[in-house]
A and B are shown apart, each in its own frame.
Chain A
Amino acid sequence: MKPELRDVSLASVFGAAALALPVLFHALGLGAAFLPMFLPLSAAGFLLPFRVAGPLAVAVPAASFILTGMPPMAVPPTGPIMMLELGFLMAANRVLHHRLKLNIFLAAALATLAERLFYLGLLYLAATVLRLPRIAFSLAGLVKSLPGTILLLTAVPAIVTVVRKHRIS
């Protein structure tokens, strides 16, 4: 089924926010800690069907790389890791909230927890392939992103509520 223009238009607004926020956060030196690209895309996972939100998981990191050179795509392979993480997070948000009908805060908490464990596994794998300190590298990566994890648990459900309250989605 072809997606509706309305969904594509909303997806592009979240995509643009996901491209703009990292520039702002990186300028303040807070990029890796606050997961700025994840915040709008996680909200998109709640508000949009996966066939529209899913391509954002690949399009946003790729567009950001083409526009700014970040996130790196090869060394370190942050871009491909982010694509997998974002796809996983959006799918988890959608399934938990829309299929299993869980409350939005509970769905966000469970999806974020599952995504962080998935991320830990990906970091461990990347560190093994690149011959980096595996355990410390993966754990430090996870700890570094704690402020962003808290935002994913609190700000994203709040944003989704605001958007729904204004009857925009």
Chain B
Amino acid sequence: MIKTAFLLLLQAAALAAEPLVIGPAAAAGTVYFLAGRKSRTRVRLGAWLFLAFFAFLCLTGLAEGAFGISIPDYGRYALLALRGYASFLVALAGTMMFSLSEVLCFLKKLRVPGYVLTMIYLMIQDLAVFNRLAGDTHRTVRSRAAGLGRLARIRLTINAAKNFVIFAALKFRYRHEHILARGLTLDLPLDDWRARERLRQSG
């Protein structure tokens, strides 16, 4: 509860505080996250995306300015991009503060239906496998495509994408059979998981 309140406070600050406060705070947050091995890639990606968002706003503003439709306000675009980036950093902090069962328990308290919770749980479990496969597929395509012509590269990529889909479909079939064999239902034992997690955390 305290963690959630703290994050909401930070999120509100990212969206409403003065630029002179958000700027240094975002810089400090960036430095902090860049130091962590897990968060480094994410924070780079976020910085790149919000920079692209700022460039996109400037270009559209410039285009409308050139046609006399509106007057571009670059300061406002910069402030929006900065607020967005600060809000992203707060979300990133949130990802490191909560476990999956904590999030699911919170959603359960909000009376989210059991099947949505089950769906989210299974989704997150599958995500690691899909991420790994997507990374491996990308590397394989790149290495096998070295020296090939454009058409052969496209064929190779399509084939890899097809394999990805077939893998996903097969994974679904096996997982479904596994769930049926174990007689699992749509109601996850979230409270038990959370109690066990608390026990582990308390040592």
By a beta-carbon cutoff of 8 Å, the part of chain A in contact with chain B is: 2-3, 5-6, 8-17, 19-21, 23-24, 26-29, 31, 52, 55-56, 59-60, 63, 65-70, 72-76, 130-137, 140, 155, 159, 162-163, 166, 168
19 A–B contacts, CB within 8 A, in A order: A3-B186, A5-B186, A10-B176, A12-B122, A13-B171, A16-B125, A19-B130, A27-B45, A59-B120, A63-B123, A67-B95, A68-B42, A76-B53, A132-B77, A133-B60, A133-B69, A136-B63, A140-B63, A162-B162
User: Is B87 interfacial (CB 8 A cutoff)?
Assistant: yes
**B162 A136 Cβ-Cβ under 8 A:** no
Residues in B with CB closer than 8 Å to A55 are 113, 115-116, 119
**B117 to chain A: closest residue by CB:** A59
Main secondary structure of the interface of B (DSSP, over half): helix
Contact A15 B123 (CB under 8 A): yes
In the complex, given contacts A20-B127, A163-B169, what are 8 additional A-B residue pairs having Cβ atoms less than 8 angstroms apart?
A8-B115, A13-B171, A19-B124, A26-B45, A63-B123, A74-B83, A132-B77, A133-B64
Total number of residue pairs linking A and B with CB closer than 8 Å: 181
A74 touches B42 (CB 8 A): no
CB neighbours (8 Å) of A155 from chain B are 161
Instruction: Give chain B's interface residues, CB within 8 Å of chain A.
Output: 11, 15, 42, 45-46, 48-49, 53, 56-57, 59-61, 63-64, 69-70, 72-73, 76-77, 80, 83-84, 87-89, 91-92, 94-95, 98, 103, 113, 115-116, 118-127, 129-131, 134-135, 138, 161-162, 165-166, 168-173, 175-176, 179-180, 184-186
Docked Cα-Cα span, A110 to B15, in Å, equals: 38
Asked if residues A162 and B165 are in contact (CB atoms below 8 Å), the reply is yes
Cβ–Cβ < 8 Å partners of B73 in chain A: 131
B53 — nearest CB in chain A belongs to which residue?
A: A76
Give min CB distance, B181 to chain A, whole Å: 12
A2–B169 Cα distance when bound, in Å, is: 23
Whether B134 contacts A69 by the Cβ 8 Å rule is no
Main secondary structure of the interface of A (DSSP, over half): helix
With A130-B80, A137-B57, A162-B166 as contacts: A13 and B172 at CB distance below 8 Å: yes
Q: Is A8 in contact with B49, judged by CB distance below 8 angstroms? A: no
A60 closest partner in B (C-beta): B123
- B173–A168 CB distance below 8 A: yes
Could you tell me if B135 and A24 are in contact, using CB atoms closer than 8 angstroms?
A: yes
User: Knowing A19-B123, A66-B95 touch, does A8 contact B60 (C-beta < 8 A)?
Assistant: no
> If A66-B103, A69-B95, A136-B69 touch, does A131 touch B64 (CB 8 Å cutoff)?
no
A24 touches B115 (CB 8 A): no
Shortest A29–chain B CB gap in Å is 8
Given the known inter-chain contacts A16-B127, A68-B95, A75-B15, please indicate yes or no for A6 contacting B87, CB distance below 8 A.
Answer: no
